[in-house]
Amino acid sequence: MIWTMPAETAAQERIWMNFPRAWAGYDESEAERDAARRVWTEVAHAIAEFEPVTMIVDPTEAARARAMLGTGIDQVGRVIDDYWLRDSGPTFVHAADGSLAAVDWIFNAWGGNITTGYQNDRGLAAFIAGLVGVPVIPSLLVNEGGGIHVDGEGTVLLTETVQLGQGRNPHADAARVEAEMARTLGTRKAIWLKRGLTRDYDGHGTLGHVDILACFPSPGRVLIHDQRDPSHPNHAVTAEIREVLSGATDARGRKLEIIDVPAPATLRDAEGFVDYSYINHLVVNGGVIACGFGEDYADAQAAEILAAAYPGRRVVTVDAREIFARGGGIHCITQQQPKVRGQVGA
């Protein structure tokens, strides 16, 4: 069977999310936990302006989720361990006939970097596939949805410290990872970035997910995070990203057009250097849900760049600082389900 992961700009059926619950990976007060619930809810309602949203809700949060989400967001009850559905949920792909299937990566809490349980989340991809009514493609690769990004034409972005890093796939080399990406996603060319953003290596990080570094708005073009302040350690990371991508070609042999997306001016929070990045946005039908960081100029500049990169889509900015404080962004808490190819709008 031949599987192909479509570009994130392909027509979508819905977006999947997890509602925040108390979890071992983050020690927070009830007020902090409520802040997470509010921003997850805001993101869900922003998406719902464009397409349906289904929220997986742990039984401990069922009543609160009903009250906060209202009737406009579909809700499904299930025990979950964390709230980063991009990583613990399925990656949807198309079969040759246009039907859908769901890749079920092995999930081990980001290489064991985050001290949260994951036994319930290991079954989440298959659970969602069952709700959708699509077959599961099992994989022996430890991987997460935020650790890959495809152009829909055979190219995948990966990070050496994720798929090849400590704690995930100790017996795999680049060739074996690329072969598994080809089998499950239909990719023919992998572009390996050397590392992720600096804070992604702390106790709440993914150890280098690509979806905060770079992404394809369309084939042959790549948006990259651009930290321009040399005092920030991500300034050096940006230089490495640009060097790799400037010398790379995609699966069709094209040189990549690089589009810089400047980081906001904020360099630090109470925990240290921030990884605030506009790359971690979500593309939806007719829109883009963008991260905001409370900076009028930088947020507006990023929205303008994204609007130009995704012509015909309306950019909606949601303040994502509460999400980033927990180790990710809007892309990290969402997962797109593409339409069956051949459907109206697909």
Known catalytic residues are 332
d(CA 298, CA 284): 22
**Distance between CA atoms of residues 228 and 297, nearest Å:** 15
The burial of 159, by beta-carbon neighbours within 10 Å (0-12 exposed, 13-18 middle, 19 or more buried), is given as: buried
Interhelix angle for 30-48 vs 62-69, to 10°? Answer: 50
**What phi and psi, each to the nearest 5 degrees, are found at residue 51?**
-165, 165
Asked if residue 196 lies in contact with residue 209, where contact means CB atoms within 8 angstroms, the answer is yes
Contact 168, 176 (CB under 8 A): no
- Please name which of 46, 89, 76 lies closest in space to residue 285, comparing C-alpha atoms: 46
**Phi/psi of residue 38, each to 5°?**
-65, -45
- Interatomic CA distance for residues 99 and 93, integer angstroms: 8
Q: How far apart are CA 147 and CA 249, in angstroms?
A: 20
Q: What angle do CA 257, 259, 260 make, to 5 degrees?
A: 145
